[in-house]
Amino acid sequence: RELAALVVRNGGGVAEPGAPPAEANAASAPWSPLVRIRAGAAGERPLFCIHGAGGNVVVFKPVADRLPPDTPLYGLQAQGIDGKQPFHTSIEAMAECYLAAIESVDAEGPYRIAGYSGGGTVAYEIACRIAASGRKVELLIMFDTLAPHYARATISLAEKLRLLPRMDARFLRQIPRLRWEGFMQARRLKRASEGKSDAATSFELLGATAWNTFFEAQRQYHPPRYAGDILLFTAIQAAAPYVRGGEWLGWNELVDGNIEVVRTPARHETIFEPPSIDVVMRVVYARLNAINMQVEAASTY
């Protein structure tokens, strides 16, 4: 019954007979980018995770499953991913919206923020704004996020050839298949968006729009310097732009603090799948526990 009411509230069906009036009135609630993925324990500091270019936060389910038991987890989804509002067209606008949502949960911090792929760039901008306000970023995590100036740079064929010796052999063997799958996916979505096919859902088409809008926003973004630290997870099976970015994926050119790099046995798209997710979450789990112990120790004095 609760699932049916949720579908109705989001405009996905006919009202269930006998549904309480309160459920129908919930449709008037204001939209928020904040998605509570896991409640955790009262009084515990949450981890806020920013969506990737596709705009959705379902990708963080494996993270939620492996967090310390008491840790609350919130996702920040893209405005427009419900098909009812325009997408943000700049990283700054995303950061402003998401930071306001984060502050609705915790106005003072310290904050623990993470971002997957392009979401790490938004998390970076949020961290810069928090630091500029005099508050503390306790933990900033990037899941395979390429620095914006490397993400927008074109790579010539000659440079790609020079990068080949630095690329993972398993990834190189997959390139023909991945390119063919990418081509067919793009073709399918293009035909569906032009009304020539019904082979894509509205959800997929919204995701494609979110993707394109995000990449244009990232192309225009010029990040400030950041004095804090970053925990950066990188995929071993990396494409040429990531290899070109080096060990720190280009963030060492912007960050004055320490960048801890953890390499994971994955491609960019599979970083939250086994065995990579186990590597990722062992480190995240240990880091969160260490911070919690420091907080507890400080509170005893």
The predicted-structure confidence for 8-43, as pLDDT tens digits, reads as follows 877 654 444 444 544 444 445 678 999 999 998 888
The mean per-residue pLDDT over the stretch 68-96 comes to 93
pLDDT higher than 60, residue 261: yes
Specify whether the CB–CB gap between 35 and 75 falls below 8 A.
yes
Specify whether the CB–CB gap between 233 and 115 falls below 8 A.
no
Nearest-angstrom CA–CA distance, 301 and 298: 6
Specify whether the CB–CB gap between 88 and 78 falls below 8 A.
yes
Nearest Cα to Cα of residue 75 among 58, 92, 87: 58
Nearest Cα to Cα of residue 160 among 146, 145, 175: 175
Question: What pLDDT, on the 0 to 100 scale, is given for residue 29?
Answer: 64
Nearest-angstrom CA–CA distance, 36 and 72: 8
Specify whether the CB–CB gap between 163 and 240 falls below 8 A.
yes
Count of CB atoms situated within 10 Å of the CB of 181: 11
Residues β-bridged to residue 48: 74, 113
Question: What pLDDT, on the 0 to 100 scale, is given for residue 199?
Answer: 73
In the chain, DSSP assigns E strands to 34-38, 47-50, 73-76, 111-116, 137-143, 230-237, 259-267
> pLDDT over 70 for what percent of the chain?
93
The number of angstroms, rounded, from the C-alpha of 147 to the middle of its chain's C-alpha atoms is 14
Q: What angle do CA 77, 82, 87 make, to 5 degrees?
A: 70
Nearest-angstrom CA–CA distance, 266 and 233: 10
Phi/psi for 154 (5° steps) reads: -80, 150
> pLDDT over 90 for what percent of the chain?
60
Higher-pLDDT residue of 99 and 206 is: 99
pLDDT higher than 90, residue 275: yes
Higher-pLDDT residue of 194 and 66 is: 66
